[in-house]
Amino acid sequence: MSISELFPDPPASTVPSITIKRPDDWHIHLRDGDVLKAVIPFTTSQFARGIIMPNLVPPVTTVESAQAYRERILKARPEGSDFTPLMTCYLTEATTADEIERGFKEGVWAAAKLYPAGATTNSHAGVRDIQVLAPVFERMEKIGMPVLIHGEVTDWSVDIFDREAVFMEQKLLPLLKRHLGLKVVVEHVTTAETVEIVRAHAGRVAGTITPHHLILNRSSLFNGGLQPHFYCLPVAKHERHRLALRQAATSGDGNFFIGTDSAPHLRSAKQAECCAAGIFCGATALQTYVQVFDEEGALPHFEAFASLNGPRFYGLPVNTGTLTLERRPDRQMAAIEVAGEDIVMFRGGEQLPWSLGETRP
Ligand code: NCD
Ligand code: ZN
């Protein structure tokens, strides 16, 4: 059963196409090596820039390792691509304010990423006690560098569906009070309450929303049997939260923007005794977002969410070129091959109502 059959969302309009300023992906896992080479063409065909997640093994914690990773990404781009990777620093308890400032001033870091230790894939080197980073956050406030937060507590006694809400109450709100000038992106927002927290701190706090959290709810994970390819972190929540995310994304609210969180894992890591967290949505992200805006009767708000709100928050220029999305049914491959294995695509093999049209530089 396809996702669209599971969730009959409202009927779409008949607008034939929409042209927007070229969009950016403010949260993307491109990985490294063979996987990087296999997945990057999908991102470069959709987006002009991407905030590159640093959770490699080992993580990208130094300015030099970020520069080297940026070079590998630039080299892996398809010919003719002008895609710009924006690098992030993986925060650990050993990160120093000086390293942060040096990388930011040298134009290497666009932001720093905070993973609570153990919260998600390759986060074990992350942070156990956020307060240890107070000097780093003070410096980031001073230089205007944003911190991007994976907002989930890791405490086993907290129900997995409550971990984002508990993080926001116990960790994020106190952090915002301690560092009044700190710019924060709450990554991959999954709850109605987090939407409200972002709105309450408009201007200094923003939220990214993934395509899959606009489509899946927690029942999707168990529909007809356990669905490993719908498993990511933060895990999809109750239907009321999915509806709140659709409202937040499509409402025209300037505090929300694209962050696909496209997170490829080999099929063998997903269909395994212990399934890795992450959904590879890079190839169908824009087709999914525009479909949601269409279904919500909000196509006039799409350009802001896709192409304007992110640059404004990061203090970067809006892209100059345009991208057209067309109401033309299209089907992506179900999976992509990588080094003798494959990676399953989110909504791959499904007929999608929208497809990518022309990109103009
Ligand atoms: C991401 C990954 O695989 O790197 N996984 C995920 O479920 N989203 C990490 C992350 O962003 O949490
Ligand atoms: Zn991510």
- 65-97 confidence digits (pLDDT tens): 999 999 999 999 999 999 999 999 999 999 999
Mean pLDDT estimate for the chain: 96
- Domain 23-320 = CATH 3.30.70.1170: no
Mutation pick for ligand 1 pocket among 55, 60, 188, 210 (CB with most ligand atoms within 8 Å): 55
Nearest CA to 256 out of 220, 219, 292, 216 is that of: 292
User: Ligand 1 — pocket residues by CB below 6 A?
Assistant: 29, 55, 120-122, 150, 232-233, 261, 263, 277-278
- pTM of the complete model: 0.96
Question: 221: exposed, middle or buried (C-beta count within 10 Å: 0-12, 13-18, 19+)?
Answer: middle
Per-residue pLDDT at 149 exceeds 90: yes
Q: How confident is the model at residue 10 (pLDDT cuts 50, 70, 90)?
A: low
Domain residue ranges of the chain, discontinuous segments joined by +: 23-320
| Per-residue pLDDT, 339 | 87
Atom from ligand 1 closest to the CA of residue 120:
12
pLDDT at 275 exceeding the cut of 60: yes
Pocket test for ligand 1, best of 27, 115, 120 (most atoms within 8 A of CB): 120
361 C-alpha to center of ligand 1: Å? Answer: 31
Q: What is the spatial distance between Cα 352 and Cα 287, in angstroms, rounded to a whole number?
A: 7
CA of 90 to the centre of ligand 1 (A): 13
